Structure 1
Amino acid sequence: MQVLDEPTWRERAAAHEARVDSATAAHVARRRDHRAHPVEDFLFTYYSFKPAQLRRWHPGAGVGLAGAGGAPHRDWRFYAVDGDVVSVDIEAFATARGDTLRFVRDLLVRTAGRPARFGCFGLHEWAMVYRQGPSAVRHSAWPLRLGASGTDAVVESHQLTCSHFDAYRFFTPEAAPLNAMTPTRETQPQLEQPGCLHAGMDLYKWAHKLVPVVPSDLVMDCFELARDIRSLDMRAAPYDLRELGYEPVPIETAEGKAAYVAEQRAFAERGQALRKRLIAVCDDILHTARDGT
């Protein structure tokens, strides 16, 4: 085990808190003022990790903190104190969260091993408003860039190819049969692929579900990827969000499609690197728990 002296881990904890504060300040201010945001709120509503939870610094499994008496970790779940050192109790975590750990690892490994596909063009957001009345549209406070009929026409002129269940399940009843496949929770491990924006964003979900064995720097790297992907997700959506500073990616045009795919490819590369790091954590925990070392 690597043991950090108290000045070192306190410095790292403070740096992490500052990183999180910078990333979440706008959301925290809006929440205090009861103001909604159609893009950024997603990271704190769809995903269950709150800013205060994200702000807690975890060194990750295999790292001990000297000066345990002054470390808040000693009172947190899945930590144990040995003399003057506090660290993640890997055995306790593996016993309590082993099923989740194995599911996440299996999903990540399968996803990482598939070729990325880049032909969806973000049409899942369009399918979520297809043939909806104005009051039923998900972000009804914001206008549809092409209007209702124009939005429907884009859906009808393309083949929907969404492979992600948690996007597909929000398709309107009229849009769901137009999709090339019918994703379910059970088929998620068979369908998830690394080009999917939602699969990339979900790396943040898998990272925070495995706290505290996943170190906070990796959780934040996944958070920042999810934040950046969400921006593209909504710039390519049918909404006109220019008032908020989001320039549309007009995926109904050839130029828009090319711009979307270029960003999607870059996110897929970032996602694969983070996926590899998460798989390594899972493997280390499973190996350590199995060997009892």
Structure 2
Amino acid sequence: MNDVATALAAPEWAASAREHAERADALTAGRRARAAVGETHPVDDFLFTYYSYKPALLRRWHPGLGVLLQDAGEARGSWRWYLVEGRDAIVDHERIARERHLLLTGVGRILRGARSRRAQFGCFGLHEWAMVYRQPEHRHPAPLRLGQTDTDAVVDAHPLGCTHFDAFRFFTPDAVPRNRLALTREQQSATEQPGCLHANMDLYKWAVKLGPVVPGRLLLDCFELARDIRELDMRASPYDLTEWGYAPVAIESAEGKAEYVGSQRAFAERAEPLREELIAVTDRVAVGMD
């Protein structure tokens, strides 16, 4: 039986769901407006195209583990991963533990692996530069801020220390052997570290994958963090995004490096409690696996 830690009366959980939807709508307003007229944005749309999660997913509020929603049986009875008990409903973490065992253990392993390591702040966002290194065709339509020759020179002048496989896998063939580590998917939990922008953006991905065991507030906090990180990620990239209102973080200079590291440290601090909450969720669900 799913343990009940607390119970919410219908007016209380309905208000929480409504407030959550309003927050989600505010966070996704730009994406929804652009989608309605067929427009795109090189920074804001990343979280919806790369991770492939639609704005509607963010609107759906879940209370998390052990919260009984009174008089929600009819409203939530058709929702996946919910158990109806009389007129009430609760997230069925026992079923999730059984049916999503591999996912839960995999996500938990990656999160704990990152937590166990010292944060590194010496990459300077060069993963984006390595994705265009000695490559005449690029994934993004924006022009290179320094041009191809000088962009390549920046990469030539710096060691590459990427620790995130899903960034590394987009490196150009010439950039791959320049990285300090030959990253693989199988070793992801052994190489990720909490200073990495992409590892901290991925907290949003893990929150989505863990599903309704993650409280709605935590999901949106992870999304908001990922959105803010992406802005730095692209400002520090080799692309010229001034027409979109983004001033570059010129990591080829000492001043730009200092600015990047300062922001990177701040994001790592924001990510730390969110990672801890996600780990706590996987630990609680794991009880149902025993």
TM-score over 0.5 for the alignment? Answer: yes
In the alignment, the residues of structure 2 paired with residue 105 and residue 117 of structure 1 have an alpha-carbon distance, to the nearest angstrom, of 21
Counterpart secondary structure, 1:101: helix
* Partner of residue 8 from structure 1, selected from 12, 15, 22: 12
% identical equivalent positions: 59
Q: Within 5 A, what are the aligned runs for 1:208-247?
A: 208-247=208-247
Q: Within 5 A, what are the aligned runs for 1:1-293?
A: 1=4, 2-71=6-75, 73-133=76-136, 136-140=137-141, 142-290=142-290
Shift of 1:48: 2.6
Q: RMSD in angstroms over aligned alpha carbons?
A: 1.0
Structure 1 residues without counterparts, runs of 5 or longer: none
Q: Which amino acid aligns with 1:212?
A: P
In the alignment, the residues of structure 1 paired with residue 289 and residue 176 of structure 2 have an alpha-carbon distance, to the nearest angstrom, of 43
Structure 2 residues without counterparts, runs of 5 or longer: none
Higher mean C-alpha deviation, range 280-289 or range 84-93? 280-289
Alpha-carbon contact 1:90-1:289 (below 8 Å) kept: no
Shift of 1:59: 0.8
Shift of 1:239: 0.8
Structure 1 runs of 4+ off > 4 angstroms? none
In the alignment, the residues of structure 2 paired with residue 106 and residue 172 of structure 1 have an alpha-carbon distance, to the nearest angstrom, of 29
In the alignment, the residues of structure 2 paired with residue 89 and residue 252 of structure 1 have an alpha-carbon distance, to the nearest angstrom, of 51
In the alignment, the residues of structure 2 paired with residue 52 and residue 203 of structure 1 have an alpha-carbon distance, to the nearest angstrom, of 19
In the alignment, the residues of structure 2 paired with residue 153 and residue 69 of structure 1 have an alpha-carbon distance, to the nearest angstrom, of 62
In the alignment, the residues of structure 2 paired with residue 289 and residue 85 of structure 1 have an alpha-carbon distance, to the nearest angstrom, of 24
In the alignment, the residues of structure 2 paired with residue 280 and residue 254 of structure 1 have an alpha-carbon distance, to the nearest angstrom, of 39
Alpha-carbon contact 1:192-1:199 (below 8 Å) kept: yes
Counterpart secondary structure, 2:83: strand
Summarize deviations over 1:245-274 as a string: whole Å, max 9, x none. Answer: 211100000000000000000111111111
Counterpart secondary structure, 1:186: coil
In the alignment, the residues of structure 2 paired with residue 171 and residue 131 of structure 1 have an alpha-carbon distance, to the nearest angstrom, of 10
Alpha-carbon contact 1:60-1:216 (below 8 Å) kept: yes
Counterpart secondary structure, 1:180: coil
Counterpart secondary structure, 2:84: strand
Shift of 1:70: 4.6
In the alignment, the residues of structure 2 paired with residue 272 and residue 100 of structure 1 have an alpha-carbon distance, to the nearest angstrom, of 21
In the alignment, the residues of structure 2 paired with residue 202 and residue 93 of structure 1 have an alpha-carbon distance, to the nearest angstrom, of 21
In the alignment, the residues of structure 2 paired with residue 191 and residue 51 of structure 1 have an alpha-carbon distance, to the nearest angstrom, of 31
